[in-house]
Structure 1
Amino acid sequence: MNALSVSPRETGGLSVSVVVYRPERVQLMRTLASLRAACNALRGASPDVSVELFIVDNGGLPDIGAELDELRLNDLAVSTISGHGNVGYGRGHNLAIERARSSFHLVLNPDIDIDQDALVTAFDFFDAHPEAGLLTPRIGDESGHLQYLCRRYPTLLDLLIRGFLPGRMCKLFAARLARYEMRDLINERDIVWDPLIVSGCFMLFRTQLLQTLAGFDPRYFLYFEDYDLSLRTHEFARVVYAPAVRVLHHGGGAAGKGAAHIRMFAASAFKFFNRFGWKWL
């Protein structure tokens, strides 16, 4: 297994892609502000590291020109990719990934607040562990609780329970969900190597590895593109859960987003299981 390793402190630096579709402006500004602070801390630790941000506009990007100019004043190179329409989450990120000339690339949701020291800690980890190709952080919710977003391979029943049952009914399947969500291994302290599936809300890759994988599979419009990419990553490099790298996630699941999202969830699940194998119960 070859991680296609390169030091994050080499001249290629860091690129970041954020795909947006009719984003909530206030939250997007929070995400960009936290990214700016984390990048400032990173350059404070490693002054030669360059950072390039790609905002991929799948539609409905508000006027944030002043805020992007502020990022540029902080020595971030900022590009907006637009005009392609709503091509989906993975294909949107791929538009940035194919342009990236960095050593490392961060796939970032517009509903993530990054801890100020997160990128410094992540770069230190990659320097110490050349075998690591993809890093997932400790992901907290708005109450400060740990979100268990690392996964074992899902069954169809796991997805139905986790995604669509009311909370009180989920309690009937607590042990099953705990296994699926790796609650026996994921915690606030311990590094966990090779979780099978990690969340697409924050995926920090070695760029050469990500481009070798050709980014996300464009057949997924929304949902399961991160499951697919996680599984393919294991063929080339090690995946690591590093809880010292910390972010806050404001996102939610498919169940509360209406019929259209439920249909997209089901269509993507079908593609995923057809590719990697069906598990029912």
Structure 2
Amino acid sequence: MPPANPITAIVVTYDSAEVLPACLSALAAEGIPAIVVDNASDDASADIARAQGATVIANARNEGYGRANNHGVAASTTPYVLIVNPDVEIRPGAIAALLAAADRYPDAGMLAPRIVEPSGRVFLQPRSLLSPPHLNRTGSMPVPEGDACLPFLSGACLLIRREVFQSLGGFDPAIFLFYEDDDLCRRMRDAGHALIHVHEAEAAHGRGRSTAPSASRRFTARWHLAWSEAYVSNKYGLARPSLAAVVRNTAKAIGYGLILNQTKMAAHAGSAAGAIAWRRGATALERQGLTDAGHVSASR
């Protein structure tokens, strides 16, 4: 009898119908079962996932990236979980390469493939708000020619030891969007687990194609970016964003409003509003109406 598959993929969707079929097809080609956690999409994301044989957890509301992934991991039973954005396509052989690396590096809590963008550029995260200053390099990071231990890995595609993830409490449930992967990487490192970039594994990432753009979504995204930046800064004892930044974003929002540039107006207004909300003690979950959030049972 062949050994049981050691990996379950967790794919969080939010109006991701355009890109989800390719993502799930690539996972199926590698023999990886998927749990799709749908964040109350208005499109056919959940139906597409069911049609392709994935287990679907249909959230009644959009619970955000980290919280939805926590639901998916809780529903899995395999030793490893593969966190995959819906606009990521795993390349042939990537799963085998990641598992081989996990065997080579038993102290690794998370491993990530080379993430290749549409332009051909390999995406690496050379710095983070949560990095010690000596690790925040200026300029771009050279692409490793082999496996490398890095301070941060992109949340777009991560192979994680499920026991380690659960022992750390998963993604911080207070964060709705942004910095949740940075925060998890920081906690992994602080707990003594290595973060490994695996050169032989590859995934294609169509950045920004998982949801359709709009001015209202731009406002919401920038609100959460500003709020989450303030939240994790406070969590790790870092300097919180300055009032001067709030004033600048407010002024820019007014300026773009006067010239009727709705997209940029929404972006800067969201940045100002998110920072102000954090200073007033408001939470990201309250903004999204998630203080009593639950989720629907899994189905196929």
TM-score tier (shorter) = 0.7 to 0.9
Give the conservation status (yes or no) of the 8 Å contact 2:130–2:183: no
Distance 1:196 1:182, change over 3 A: farther
- State the distance in 1 between where 2:46 and 2:23 align: 13
1:115 aligns with 2:91: yes
Cα deviation for residue 128 of structure 1 reads 2.1
- Structure 2 counterpart of 1:258: 218
Give the conservation status (yes or no) of the 8 Å contact 1:90–1:225: yes
Give the conservation status (yes or no) of the 8 Å contact 1:139–1:149: no
- State the distance in 2 between where 1:57 and 1:90 align: 12
Percent identity between matched residues is: 26
Q: Deviations over 1:196-246 (max 9, x none)?
A: 222111111011111111210011100000011111111142111112111
C-alpha RMSD over aligned residues: 3.0
Q: 1:38 aligns with which of 30, 36, 39?
A: 30
- Structure 1 counterpart of 2:33: 52
- Structure 1 counterpart of 2:269: none
Question: Which letter maps to 1:214?
Answer: G
- State the distance in 2 between where 1:67 and 1:280 align: 40
- Structure 2 counterpart of 1:245: 201
- State the distance in 1 between where 2:101 and 2:237 align: 33
- State the distance in 1 between where 2:151 and 2:45 align: 39
Distance 1:62 1:179, change over 3 A: same
Which structure has the larger Rg over C-alpha atoms?
2
> Equivalent residues in 2 for 1:33-182 (5 A)?
33-39=25-31, 51-60=32-41, 61-62=43-44, 65=47, 68-69=50-51, 71-72=52-53, 78-153=54-129, 179=137
Q: 2:177 aligns with which of 222, 232, 235?
A: 222
What runs of 5+ residues in structure 1 fail to find an aligned partner? Answer: 1-8, 40-50, 73-77, 159-176
Q: 1:267 aligns with which of 212, 224, 227?
A: 227
- For normalisation by structure 2, the TM-score amounts to 0.69
- State the distance in 2 between where 1:213 and 1:258 align: 31
1:17 aligns with 2:10: yes
Distance 1:151 1:53, change over 3 A: same
- State the distance in 1 between where 2:109 and 2:140 align: 20
- State the distance in 1 between where 2:201 and 2:102 align: 12
Distance 1:138 1:21, change over 3 A: same
Q: What SS does the corresponding residue of 1:19 show, helix, strand or coil? A: strand
Give the conservation status (yes or no) of the 8 Å contact 2:124–2:154: no
Higher relative contact order structure (alpha carbons within 8 Å, sequence separation ≥ 6): 1
1:28 aligns with 2:20: yes
- For normalisation by structure 1, the TM-score amounts to 0.73
Q: What SS does the corresponding residue of 1:258 show, helix, strand or coil? A: helix
Give the conservation status (yes or no) of the 8 Å contact 2:130–2:186: no
- Structure 2 counterpart of 1:196: 151
Cα deviation for residue 148 of structure 1 reads 2.2
Give the conservation status (yes or no) of the 8 Å contact 2:233–2:240: no
1:210 aligns with 2:210: no
- State the distance in 1 between where 2:74 and 2:92 align: 27
Which runs of at least 4 in structure 1 moved beyond 6 Å after TM superposition? none
- State the distance in 1 between where 2:70 and 2:55 align: 14
Give the conservation status (yes or no) of the 8 Å contact 1:189–1:244: no
